[in-house]
Amino acid sequence: MSPLSPLPPGSTVGVLGGGQLGRMLAFAARRMGYRIVSWVGGPDSGPAGVADYVIEEPFDSPAGLAAFLERAQVATVEFENIPRSLLEAVAAQIPLMPGAQAVAICQHREREKRFLEENGIPCARFAVIETADQLRTALAALPENGGILKTAEFGYDGKGQLSVTRSSDPEAVWSAFSTPRAVLEERIDLAAELSVLVVRDGSGHALAYDPAENFHRDHILDVSIVPARLAPGILEEARTIALRVAEALDYHGLLAVEFFLSGDGRLLVNEMAPRPHNSGHHTIDACETSQFEQQLRVLCGLAPGSTRLHSPTVMLNLLGDVWEDAKGKPNWPAVLAMPGAHLHLYGKHEARRGRKMGHITFTAPTLEEALANQTKAREILGIPELE
């Protein structure tokens, strides 16, 4: 892809999707003088309301496509499960970053695993499953601690996954899983989870952020800690691999690469997200250039900004549980009384358990202080202790 001529402020960026990631991109765009058209594919649930234009037509609507292309001069995705046919239709008319092929790889576990394998990028051992007989053979080859059966498509935040062991009944499991195609991965004895954000422009110039150390609760990101408390060699290896992934994808935009660090010291790519990422929200408050400004810069043909971390930081996710437990009135004044607390709410109309409603970033002179403040915030808001 040849570099774009820079788009001037006042130009309109198209966003496929209507969640909080598009909302935060819209905030960055407003600050820099750009407009946003969000095609949400259905009724706006709240976050897209900050866009300049919102299209609620379904993603297979010709009228929706026409309205989108009429306004947008360049386009991106804010979640990966956009129909490939739509990605290709948009890319045929205006620049789409990341491209349809990169998104198609990241949205499909089988394609993602094969891409990693073919490019010599370390990942968990896996087998593609189409029948109960294939599952029987793959189960027998699992390590003693078993594996995870995952749908090939449309999985996120732990959805579409099932733990299995060598002794699992393949017929019963396959019948219950009810999918035409799946991926069986070895279960990793986890020592840590981390992620790296990469920004790569149309010239192939790429920069990596400091890796984030991540903790999940019920398969949903709970906390991200930056700088990660892992050996410098591991962190440098994660940056190097993430940059390799972006280059192999010929990626343009903001890419998140998630890693497992195994108990036996293997650093393995778990998955990629072709968009800004929950574990990168700290960049808004703790880095010279946020992940959303980076996304906008690449889309508009501008040079990427610095990825420098200027403050140790901890990002705490806020799920709908906080609102339900507080009967709709979380104690924000007590949280915001702490130094270095930055509250971000996503404008969603309804709070539900397990639904991401916002996050708080804690910045501090030391990581220990930032961690102590997030611990205090958890107590105030009734969030279970960090495991």
CATH number at residue 164: 3.30.1490.20
Average pLDDT of the residues of the chain:
95
Q: What is the pLDDT of residue 155?
A: 55
Distance of alpha carbon 57 from alpha carbon 54, whole angstroms: 9
Distance CA 342, CA 140 (A): 49
Main-chain dihedrals φ then ψ at residue 129, nearest 5 degrees? -120, 130
Between CA 70 and CA 326 the distance in angstroms is 44
Whether residue 205 sits in one domain with residue 315: yes
Q: Does the residue 353 lie in any domain? A: yes
Instruction: Tell me the per-residue pLDDT of 307-342, one tens digit each, with 9 for 90 and over.
Output: 999 999 999 999 999 999 999 999 999 999 999 999
In a domain, 257, yes or no: yes
Q: How far apart are CA 172 and CA 86, in angstroms?
A: 36
Residues 6+ apart with CB under 8 A from 289: 283, 297, 304, 305, 306, 307
Assigned domain for 2 exists: no
Domain ranges, residue 77: 12-106
Does 7 map to a domain? Answer: no
What confidence tier does 154 reach under pLDDT thresholds 50, 70, 90? low
Count CB-CB contacts under 10 A for residue 173. Answer: 19
Q: Could you tell me if residue 114 is inside a domain? A: no
The mean per-residue pLDDT over the stretch 180-198 comes to 95
State pLDDT tens for residues 110-124: 999 999 999 999 999
Tell whether 323 is covered by a domain: yes
Given a cut of 80, is residue 159 above it in pLDDT? no
Residues 226/309, Cβ–Cβ less than 8 Å: yes
Residue 3 has pLDDT above 80, yes or no: no
* Neighbour tally for 169: CB within 10 Å: 14
Phi, psi of 103 (to 5 degrees): -65, -40
Q: State the sign of the Cα–Cα–Cα–Cα dihedral 358, 362, 367, 369.
A: negative
Quick one: what percent of the chain has pLDDT higher than 90? 91
- Among the residues of 156-256, which ranges form H helices? 170-177, 232-248
Q: Are residues 328 and 201 in the same domain?
A: yes
pTM of the model as a whole: 0.94
Number of domains in the chain: 3
Residues 243 and 334 in one domain: yes
